[in-house]
Structure 1
Amino acid sequence: MSYEIWIIIVASLVGITCGVIGCFLILRKLAMLADAISHTVLLGIVLAFLISQSMNGIYMLIGAAIVGLFTAMLIQFLNHKGIQEDASIGVVFTFFFAIGVILITVFADSVHLDVDHALMGEIAFVPFDMVEIGFLPPLPKAFIMLMSILILNIILMMLFYKELKITSFDPALAASIGIPVMFIHYLLMGMVSVSTVASFDSVGAILVVAMLIAPGASAYLLTNKLSHMLCLSAFFGVIAAISGYYVATWIDSSISGSMAMMSGVLFALVFIFSPTKGLLGKKLNHKRFRSGTTAP
């Protein structure tokens, strides 16, 4: 495959992987927690490198998952102790992220792990980092990692779909019928963590937030059914990734930045033109309601 096609495929996988997981974060009102985890996984990646002295993807995933889960647990603990949730998120993620940045600059300045790469990522380098697995032709490392995480997430969502759905809409009901609410919560946080680090090389720690939140938020404005929301979110993630690539080529700018920008543009369009929840849709429905009530 060509250089351009591989970038588009990997970008689309980022959009799908992050977009689908983001739906549950939107429903649970945990968008800022995604921001926190996407930053704190940097600490997990650095610690994994310092311990293993390897940039192997499996070590990165394990380190990110552990720190991501610890982040969610610490935020939950502080919240239960009376600290407001937004304050807990702000304190925890800035503290962990700062430690990660310090460790990079002090101990990892001689490897392919720097602050700019961690923040912004660079998907243009993806086609150059090829690996061979068995009889398969050489494939980009980012493609293999993202595809593996996407398959894992799909399997977990299929196995725990009912639990994820009920705990997202009504955690009190879920607890009353015996569903382990906290287990499902931390399972979701683990999925967010590994999805974030799988997208790390492509869009970086900051821009992955846009792919986690914007496609799901756009889908939320178009449907009230979870299955449709998941499909729409994946669709918006792919559209943002593809259009972002061509915008970046057109204006000669950051590919990952353009992807995040286009996810915001798509959200703005849906926010305005959604038939039921958009600004214009609400105005039209309000006018119809008023004309119906005032008709003789």
Structure 2
Amino acid sequence: MNDLIIIVTGSLVAICCGILGCFLILRKMAMVSDAISHAVLPGIVIAFMLGSDLDSIWMLVGAGLVGVFTTFLIEFFHRQGKLQTDASIGVTFTWLFAIGVIMVSYYAGDAHIDQDCVLYGEIAYVPIDPIITDSGSVLGPKALIVLSIVLLVILAVILPFYKEFFLTSFDPAYAAAIGISATIWHYLLMSLVSITTVASFESVGAILVVAFLIVPPATAYLITTRLHHMIGLSCVFGILAAILGYYIAYWIDGSIAGAMATVAGLNFGFVFGWTQIKKARPVTSPPISQD
């Protein structure tokens, strides 16, 4: 049962990240996930200072608000400062992460929240971290429940407004011309990315979250140019990485999150090689008819 819980948790992270990662790839903002996963550290420290509890819901709220603020700063520097998107991301997340490191060392040096909550995480601990009610009832693993709620929120936003996300990702100028605000849908998407990142990295670590937000969607993008097919393939590649990665980690007695991210990279390498071979294969002409 513990094996199944870990695999399902990894698969939920893969699905949540795979859906949103496709839109990030199309908007050329794939590395914003890495920025959010590091830049939320000040929000975590502030929430810890107010609540002094790493399991408090305010930890997610504080980190989520800073994540949304991070995306706002990235867009602000890009539009107002005329910086390239990658430069805006680099400036924003390094600055906020540095502030967070200072705050951790000064206000929460004994909490270890910089490593446990932001960088590494440990998906193997998911089965032994349940949600317990005041009456003593065990509802289930916290990460599994939180990620299930996050997936439902993502589906509740993406499915009804798929057209708006589609148009603002491919042609924001046309979307604005027909009355669809590209800015609103951009920040809504970034809010979903922020919530997903914050909800995931405490249990599985920022490294795996960033890997699942980028690598499976990039792998799917090598195969198809249809967005709905890309989203479906991204989820499939992510789930495959979660399953194979867990059993590889069990076999070699290594990091589960690291193994899952490694399998995701191997999937990309295999698909990339296959597409290159397919492109290089000579096209044979049909035989000339004798008639």
Matched-pair contact (CA < 8 Å) for 2:165–2:185: yes
Aligned residue in 2 for 1:128? 128
SS of residue matched to 2:244: helix
How many equivalent pairs are there? Answer: 287
Matched-pair contact (CA < 8 Å) for 2:51–2:58: yes
Distance in 2 between residues matched to 1:52 and 1:117, nearest whole Å: 15
Show the 5 A alignment for 1:47-126. 47-56=46-55, 58-80=57-79, 81-111=81-111, 113-115=113-115, 117-126=117-126
Q: Which amino acid aligns with 1:72?
A: T
| Cα distance, 1:57 vs structure 2 | 5.4
Q: Deviations over 1:250-282 (max 9, x none)?
A: 111111111111111111111111xxxx11111
CA RMSD of aligned residues (A): 2.2
Show the 5 A alignment for 1:132-211. 132=132, 137-211=138-212
Change (3 A) 1:129 1:26: same
TM-score scaled by length of structure 2: 0.91
Between stretches 47-56 and 227-236, larger displacement belongs to 47-56
Distance in 1 between residues matched to 2:53 and 2:203, nearest whole Å: 19
Show the 5 A alignment for 1:215-226. 215-226=216-227
Distance in 2 between residues matched to 1:135 and 1:229, nearest whole Å: 43
Deviation above 3 Å: which 4+ runs of structure 1? 109-112, 132-138
Matched-pair contact (CA < 8 Å) for 1:60–1:197: no
The sequence identity of aligned pairs, in percent, is 51
Gaps of 5+ in 1: none
TM-score scaled by length of structure 1: 0.90
Q: Which amino acid aligns with 1:228?
A: H
Correspondent of 1:282 among 263, 279, 290: 279
Between stretches 55-64 and 249-258, larger displacement belongs to 55-64
Distance in 2 between residues matched to 1:135 and 1:162, nearest whole Å: 45
Q: Deviations over 1:269-296 (max 9, x none)?
A: 11111xxxx1111112xx21xx549x89
| Cα distance, 1:116 vs structure 2 | 5.2
| Cα distance, 1:39 vs structure 2 | 1.6
Distance in 2 between residues matched to 1:165 and 1:136, nearest whole Å: 43
Show the 5 A alignment for 1:248-259. 248-259=249-260
SS of residue matched to 1:138: strand
Matched-pair contact (CA < 8 Å) for 1:105–1:114: no
Between stretches 123-132 and 107-116, larger displacement belongs to 107-116
| Cα distance, 1:103 vs structure 2 | 2.1
Matched-pair contact (CA < 8 Å) for 1:244–1:258: yes
Q: Deviations over 1:89-110 (max 9, x none)?
A: 1111111112222322332233
Matched-pair contact (CA < 8 Å) for 1:120–1:257: no
| Cα distance, 1:127 vs structure 2 | 0.9
Q: Which amino acid aligns with 2:272?
A: F
Gaps of 5+ in 2: none
